[in-house]
């Protein structure tokens, strides 16, 4: 009987001693997403949730609804609640300086994901950026368009939100490729933002068609705008084999459009990989580990020839 009581007492003491350790290992991460209502960002968010579950991390994900003020408030709330790390998909990449400053003041690691912060080269020791290198995205996309057009023709460019670094870089990539000798026969005849949005892409394409703009290709900063352009082109009666349409992200809808013969080019950006990478980076920083400031998840060109690899 005494032996049994001793055993129970030892077990109880062991549980009490072990309890704080278990609690310490259960990290809490606050995540502020720029927008929930976006196909690519939904996949990114799912990647964060999946990796957090695998790692046993408690994650709280908030929708900033594309409002900078809302996102800043979410970050303040995460800090006040004492999270171990914060992951941010910025609404406005120009607003990241104050986000970084708030996190530093609170001593909480901060990880930017997918959208490059304006202060990327000045991030403190406990902050990092996880994404795909946008210099590759628009470059791969436009080089393939150039190849399909034999280096000459008229091009329309649909840009993402002008406050977003990815939109700026992807558009720059387009012009950089066109500046090369082999693609110098391409001419950008119109360039305008459709703010990453399918409906706005449709409206912009409709306006260009109504204005009588002549073009041979549409290069969009993302798949959603490219799909909007395709919808407008088909509604106008334009045969899809007479125009090249290119996007970026290789979303499920984009791959379906390519399978249907409507989308010619996209570039795979692993939203799931970025989400998982952001969580892994947050865990490392929360544990005080040293990591690289920039963690890249490679882009991959997707065409009808290798489409089957991505449909899987």
pLDDT band, residue 39 (cuts 50/70/90): confident
d(CA 306, CA 123): 38
d(CA 252, CA 272): 13
Taking alpha carbons only, the member of 98, 127, 115, 96 closest to residue 35 is 115
* pLDDT of 148 strictly over 90: yes
Strands 266-268 and 300-302, sheet pairing: antiparallel
Kindly list the strands in the beta sheet with 85-88, ordered across the sheet, starting from the edge strand earlier in the chain: 58-63, 28-33, 85-88, 110-113, 127-131, 294-296
As a whole number, mean pLDDT of residues 194-214 equals 98
Instruction: Identify the residue with better confidence: 255 or 269.
Output: 255
Same topology for domains 2-131+270-296 and 134-268, yes or no?
A: yes
Residue at token pair 């290992």: 25
Give CATH superfamily name and number for 134-268.
Answer: Response regulator (3.40.50.2300)
Choose the weakest-confidence range: 15-24, 93-102, 190-199, 298-307. 15-24
Taking alpha carbons only, the member of 39, 40, 32 closest to residue 67 is 32
Strand partners, 266: 302
* pLDDT of 4 strictly over 50: no
d(CA 143, CA 77): 44
Domain boundaries, the chain: 2-131+270-296, 134-268
CATH code of 2-131+270-296, in short, is 3.40.50.2300
Judge whether 282 and 261 are in contact, CB under 8 Å.
no
| Longest CA pairwise span in the chain (Å) | 95
**Averaged pLDDT score across all residues of the chain:** 91
pLDDT for 257-266, tens place per residue? Answer: 999 999 999 9
pLDDT for 149-161, tens place per residue? Answer: 999 999 999 999 9
* Helices of type H across the chain: 2-25, 39-55, 68-81, 96-106, 134-148, 165-178, 198-210, 223-236, 252-259, 271-286, 307-311
d(CA 9, CA 7): 5
């Amino acid at each position: 009987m005494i032996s049994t009581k001793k055993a129970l007492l030892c077990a109880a003491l062991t549980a009490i001693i072990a309890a704080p350790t278990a609690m310490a290992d259960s990290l809490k991460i606050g995540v502020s997403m720029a927008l929930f209502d976006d196909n690519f960002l939904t996949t990114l968010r799912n990647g964060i949730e999946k990796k957090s579950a695998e790692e046993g991390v408690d994650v709280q994900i908030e929708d900033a609804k594309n409002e900078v003020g809302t996102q800043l408030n979410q970050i303040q709330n995460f800090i006040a609640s004492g999270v171990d790390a914060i992951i941010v998909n910025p609404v406005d990449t120009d607003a990241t300086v104050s986000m970084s400053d708030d996190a530093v003041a609170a001593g909480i690691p901060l990880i930017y994901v997918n959208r490059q912060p304006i202060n990327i080269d000045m991030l403190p020791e406990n902050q990092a950026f996880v994404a795909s290198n946008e210099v590759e995205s628009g470059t791969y996309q436009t080089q393939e368009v150039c190849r399909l057009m034999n280096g000459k023709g008229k091009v329309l460019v649909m840009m993402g939100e002008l406050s977003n670094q990815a939109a700026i870089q992807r558009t720059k990539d387009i012009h950089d490729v066109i500046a090369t000798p082999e693609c110098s026969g391409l001419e950008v005849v119109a360039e305008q933002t459709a703010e990453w949005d399918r409906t706005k892409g449709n409206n912009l394409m409709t306006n260009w068609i109504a204005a009588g703009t002549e073009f041979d290709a549409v290069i969009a900063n993302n798949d959603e705008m490219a799909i909007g352009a395709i919808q407008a082109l088909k509604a106008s009666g334009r045969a899809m084999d007479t125009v090249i349409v290119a996007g970026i992200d290789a979303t499920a809808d984009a791959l379906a459009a390519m399978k249907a013969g409507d989308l010619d080019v996209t570039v795979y950006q692993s939203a799931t990989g970025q989400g998982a990478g952001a969580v892994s980076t947050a865990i490392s920083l929360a544990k005080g580990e040293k990591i690289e400031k920039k963690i890249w998840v490679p882009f991959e060109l997707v065409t009808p020839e290798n489409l089957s690899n991505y449909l899987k």
